[in-house]
Amino acid sequence: MAHNNHTHLHGQDLPKVLQLLPNPCFALVEANNSHKFHFLKAWVSTLPQDQFLEKHAGSVQVLLSSAIGPPITAQILHLLPSLKLLVTISAGLDHVDLAECRARGVAIASASKIFAEDVADMAVGLLLDVMRNISASDRFVRDGFWVSKGDFALGSKIGGKRVGIVGLGNIGLEVAKRLEAFGCNILYNSRKKKPFVSYPFFPNVCELAANSDVLVICCGLTAQTHHMINKKVLLALGREGVIVNVGRGAIIDEKEMVQCLVRGEIGGAGLDVFENEPHVPKELFALDNVVLSPHQAALTPECLTALRELVIGNLEAFFSNKPLLSLVENN
Catalytic residues: 248, 277, 295
- Of the candidates 317, 167, 247, 63, the residue with the CA atom closest to the CA atom of residue 326: 317
Integer Cα distance of 245 and 221 in angstroms: 12
CA angle 59/62/68 to nearest 5° reads 130
Tell me phi and psi for residue 293, to 5 degrees. Answer: -140, 140
The Cα 63–Cα 26 span in angstroms is: 11
Q: What is the DSSP string of 186-202?
A: EEEE-SS--TT--S-B-
Give the ranges where the chain is alpha helix by DSSP (H).
24-30, 49-55, 74-78, 98-104, 112-132, 134-142, 145-149, 170-181, 205-210, 231-237, 254-263, 301-319
197 class by beta-carbon count within 10 Å (0-12 exposed, 13-18 middle, 19+ buried): middle
CB atoms within 10 A of CB 121: 17
